[in-house]
Structure 1
Amino acid sequence: MSTTDSTAPEGPVFSPEAYAAVEKAASSRRSLYVPSVLEHAAELLTALWAAGEQHGVTPTEWGWVSDLAGGTLDVVARQYESAPKPERTVEQIITLQGHLTSALSELGLTARPGSPGVIVSRGPGTPRGGYNGDADIDVRIYSDGGWAFAFAVDGASVMSIVAPASQAGASQVAEIVRAFVRGELGNVFHR
């Protein structure tokens, strides 16, 4: 016989302080993070702080010895940046690219299949990139890794986007790409 607890929270459980600490740690990293990954890391950090408190260590005391929020973010991000073994199949990648293309289109961006990623047309606010400053954006999901984007030219710097390899993850990646195309993020390649 099983019972259900109707008062159990749905979704991740984390403190606002943990989310703020993880978000601050993310700002010093070389990758961009979607909200669900930040929430995942904040949930783990909240649990670690709670375990520490059971041993007389308050959350503020962690700052004396380590960047617990940053370490938590790094360990959670690794789960999203590495593909499960065996690697993703071509069919899985094409499906994820299809989800991304749909999400980008729903956000009002022009996206088309590229080789091997999804090419997103730049907007008036997009930072300059490429040989003439007018390159479009290439967004990819790797068979053995996570999401990333770059200007669609050979030799361009690549920016990781830490997000789930799922339809929901593709939607969150699309939100970040939209913010980049609109110029809301600035030129993240020069951080």
Structure 2
Amino acid sequence: MDTTDDTAPEGPVFSTEAYAAVEKAAGSRRSLYVPSVLEHAAELLTALWAAGEKHGITPAEWGWVTDLAGATIDVVSRQYESAPKPERTYEQVMALQGHLASALNELGLTTRPGSPGVIVSRGPDTPRGGFHGDADIDVRIYSDGGWAFSFAADGASVMSIVAPASQAGASQVAEVVRAFVRGELGNVFRR
């Protein structure tokens, strides 16, 4: 495990191997994941591997029967993509969208209110999208689900961003959106 002393760690504890396995598994999924979600899944995978080792099963042996890294990212994602019951109120959704807009603006992106959501102006390296290829980006959080973004165009595909429904989660979503607008992720809608 990645700790440097005997004190209790201040966050998730996971091995670098578990993080790499979860990150690889996430790459084959139809969603994008923020670092804190990958860390959460890596922490679970590290614990599962440790439990297996107590029974003489090495981490590599799991691959013979299942995609344990993929299973951990899938099960952890459900916690972020399903809203707690009861659903988020309109005020909660608007507050989260406000945090998102602030985080996007702090990263140097131009935003305006959407209906619902936050519209982010495209950049010169943003992948082409929309009818004429020049659509801006629509980012939102659902009252009964998680974060998502799409091109701001009728009929556009929607991509989930698995992140906490919190101010910190909004900041991480903003980082993902910035990477997309800058062209760093390529056209994730064509995976």
Name 2:159's counterpart in structure 1.
Answer: 159
Q: Does 1:113 align with 2:117?
A: no
Matches within 5 A, 1:73-152: 73-152=73-152
Name 2:170's counterpart in structure 1.
Answer: 170
Q: After superposition, what is the alpha-carbon deviation per residue over 1:97-138, rounded to whole angstroms, capped at 9, x for unaligned?
A: 000000000000001111001000000000000010000000
Q: Does 1:184 align with 2:175?
A: no
Name 1:67's counterpart in structure 2.
Answer: 67
Q: After superposition, what is the alpha-carbon deviation per residue over 1:12-66, rounded to whole angstroms, capped at 9, x for unaligned?
A: 0000000000000000000000000000000000000000011111111000000
Amino acid at match of 2:70: G
Q: After superposition, what is the alpha-carbon deviation per residue over 1:124-165, rounded to whole angstroms, capped at 9, x for unaligned?
A: 000000010000000010001000000001110000000000
Q: TM-score, with normalisation over the residues of structure 2?
A: 0.97
Moved over 3 A (4+): none
Amino acid at match of 1:150: S
Matches within 5 A, 1:23-34: 23-34=23-34
Cα distance, 1:25–1:6 mapped onto 2, change above 3 Å: closer
Gaps of 5+ in 1: none
Matches within 5 A, 1:52-63: 52-63=52-63
Q: Report % sequence identity.
A: 87
Q: CA deviation at 1:70?
A: 0.1
Structure 2 residue matching 1:139: 3-state secondary structure: strand
d(CA) in 1 for partners of 2:136 and 2:11?
Answer: 36
Name 1:20's counterpart in structure 2.
Answer: 20
Gaps of 5+ in 2: none
Q: TM-score, with normalisation over the residues of structure 1?
A: 0.97
Q: CA deviation at 1:180?
A: 0.3
Number of residue pairs matched by the alignment? 187
d(CA) in 2 for partners of 1:143 and 1:123?
Answer: 29
Structure 2 residue matching 1:140: 3-state secondary structure: strand
